Amino acid sequence: MPLTRRDLDRIPSYRPGRNPADLARELGLSEAVKLASNEVPYGPLPGVAEAVAEAALGMHRYPDLAAVALREALGKRYAVDPARIAVGCGSVALAEVLAKATAGPGDEVLYAWRSFEAYPILTIGAGATPVQVPNTAGHEHDLDAMAAAITDRTRLVFVCNPNNPTGTAIRRAELERFLDAVPDSVLVVIDEAYREFVTDPGVPDGLDLAAGRPNVVVLRTLSKAWGLAGMRVGWLAAAEPVAETIRKIVTPFSVSLVAQAGALAALDSVGEMQRRVDLVVAERDRVETTVSALGVDVPPTQANFVWLPLGERSVEFAAAGEARGVIVRPFAGDGVRVTIGTPAENDLFLAVAREVLGG
């Protein structure tokens, strides 16, 4: 008799980007380039390391359970009542709590596929049934098909905008139409981990759409544009009753003392954050244009990565990159996600792309 739930055997393992130091050692290189985890490559924002070091002197004390200062800073930055905000150990941890708070055995959690690979993991972990709706031929959410797939068992819907790993983004009219079609009894989570990289004015801010819609939650993170991937700080904005419930059931003290301090310092560096985002966006356009010229049908991206729909060649392409010291993220049978790095890192990737795909 197994000691854990039998249904957990079918959960796919989450695959993080490979450690570049390990690859460099294998290949005998001075360093390898990691373009697999959608990190921003420019280091901590000004003041963050100092704030973390100072906070670490109090590590023998518990952090503020309610994260009052952080919620107030987020509320001020995004014009959201702090009572509508909950924070957690990265936005993925909050997504997991949302699944557990809404769904269980016999319930369904709906999302596009391919989308964020954690969705099936956290759905099955909650004991619920994942319902995957295939993306369109353009690698976008098929919102009409998603709306049609909602049943009386559907409790939660994830909409990843921009979508990870394809980078495609949903525009305002179609997203509003979808939200209007979803029953009030179903919670819709707009996952906006990459919102800061959006440059298309037609792509809506989920916080605007959530206003007046009690069944809409917006997920954000400080892991990407704000440079805190290693700190693990995410937040959500929801109707007060939903936010209050999430704050009650999220793992206590899951946003550490140093993480809260780092987040507060990062939020004070809006201008530098935006400067770095602008650098990423400029490089994103260069990489997208260059790879497209090699004959790859790269969909327009609004994130800090590009999607190469290489199908059955995906794993082979990623292996070719690793053999040359460049780590990207393959999704077997579908495509390859390539994070935008520094100009020099992107040059190394593009050299691989020209060598492997150019012929």
**The pTM is what?**
0.95
- Rounded Cα gap, residues 298 and 300, in angstroms: 6
Confidence of residue 41 (pLDDT cuts 50, 70, 90): very high
For domain 48-267, give the CATH number: 3.40.640.10
Could you report the per-residue pLDDT of 299-358, keeping only the tens digit for each? Answer: 999 999 999 999 999 999 999 999 999 999 999 999 999 999 999 999 999 999 999 998
What fold does the segment set 6-44+271-357 form as a domain? Aspartate Aminotransferase, domain 1 (3.90.1150)
Omega into 114 within 30° of 0, i.e. cis? yes
Confidence of residue 29 (pLDDT cuts 50, 70, 90): confident
Could you report the per-residue pLDDT of 180-237, keeping only the tens digit for each? Answer: 999 999 999 999 999 999 999 999 999 999 999 999 999 999 999 999 999 999 999 9
Pairing of strands 33-34, 326-327: parallel
For residues 49-84, b (16+ Cβ closer than 10 Å) or e, as one string?
Answer: eebbeebeeeeeeebeeebeebbebbbeeeebebeb
Could you report the per-residue pLDDT of 234-269, keeping only the tens digit for each? Answer: 999 999 999 999 999 999 999 999 999 999 999 999
Residue 359: the pLDDT is 64
Residue 5: the pLDDT is 85
Tell me the backbone φ, ψ of residue 191, rounded to 5 degrees. -90, 105
User: At what angle are helices 118-125 and 91-102 packed, to 10 degrees?
Assistant: 40
**Residues 260, 63 contacting (CB under 8 angstroms):** yes
Question: CB under 8 Å to 20, separation ≥6 — which residues?
Answer: 31, 32, 33, 34, 327
Could you report the per-residue pLDDT of 50-96, keeping only the tens digit for each? Answer: 999 999 999 999 999 999 999 999 999 999 999 999 999 999 999 99
Q: Is 320 left (phi over 0), alpha (psi -120 to 50) or beta?
A: alpha
Q: Domain residues of the chain, as ranges?
A: 6-44+271-357, 48-267
